[in-house]
Chain A
């Protein structure tokens, strides 16, 4: 996988969620993704950027245009130094919530992308990397 371009979006308030999801949507469009793929990647970005604001207050979103031998795609990294997730397996389940939301943020956004990696340690923050490839 090669990285074609990268942009970093600091996240510290709710309006940054909108910036992050708009940039993700714009880049998805630029690399030729269809409307459904654009909507899915923007929605996943919105969910995961909101988790940063909600649980860690501040963090960053890195949006990268990438390509493999077959197709272009987007790699988006969500990084924070917040409280972390004590039990990732539990947090990935549908309906698991600590905030009174629907509990679909993590599990739902995983279903919207091709690849989803999460690493987190209590007290050390959380990093989530998602990838979505343009359908050939």
Chain B
């Protein structure tokens, strides 16, 4: 499958990555999300990666890109449910995902987005 379904809830786009994140899929997601933000004027993007077992520098850059593109288009991005082993591996590699907000589950992610933007680091 070469597409990840993007759900819309209010002014929020929700993506749950349930399969192996290969490079083409990551690029397709980046393009498709920016297109959907533009079409729907979404203000937030929630990306659930709780089942993703590998985030290497390429996928990390794709995630950072998505957050950057969304930010320019006036939408905030929250990455949900990063696994502990993935988080440790990213930090050891030196990949810090600047500008990306994270939450441990979708409820926390929604709460984070309900706060005014100036409260975010």
Contacts and interface: CB of A to CB of B under 8 A. Distances in A.
A108 B23 contact: no
A15 B22 contact: yes
Given A25-B54, A47-B58, A104-B57, 18 more contacts: A14-B22, A14-B23, A15-B22, A17-B23, A39-B53, A39-B85, A39-B88, A39-B89, A40-B85, A40-B92, A42-B54, A43-B54, A43-B89, A50-B23, A104-B94, A105-B57, A108-B94, A112-B89
B54 A102 contact: no
Interface of A: 14-15, 17-18, 21-22, 25, 35-36, 38-40, 42-43, 46-47, 50, 94, 101-102, 104-105, 107-109, 111-112
Nearest to A102: B57
Contacts of B23: 14, 17, 50
Given A35-B85, A101-B61, A43 B22 contact: no
A104 B85 CA distance: 18
Given A35-B85, A43-B55, A105-B57, A18 B20 contact: yes
A127 B18 CA distance: 34
A5 B56 CA distance: 26
Contacts of A108: 57, 92-95
Residues of A contacting B: mostly: helix
A102 B92 contact: no
A35 B57 CA distance: 19
A111 B92 contact: yes
28 contacts: A14-B24, A15-B22, A17-B22, A17-B23, A18-B22, A36-B84, A36-B85, A39-B53, A39-B54, A39-B86, A39-B88, A39-B89, A40-B92, A42-B54, A43-B54, A43-B55, A47-B56, A94-B94, A101-B61, A102-B57, A102-B95, A104-B57, A107-B94, A108-B92, A108-B93, A108-B94, A108-B95, A111-B92
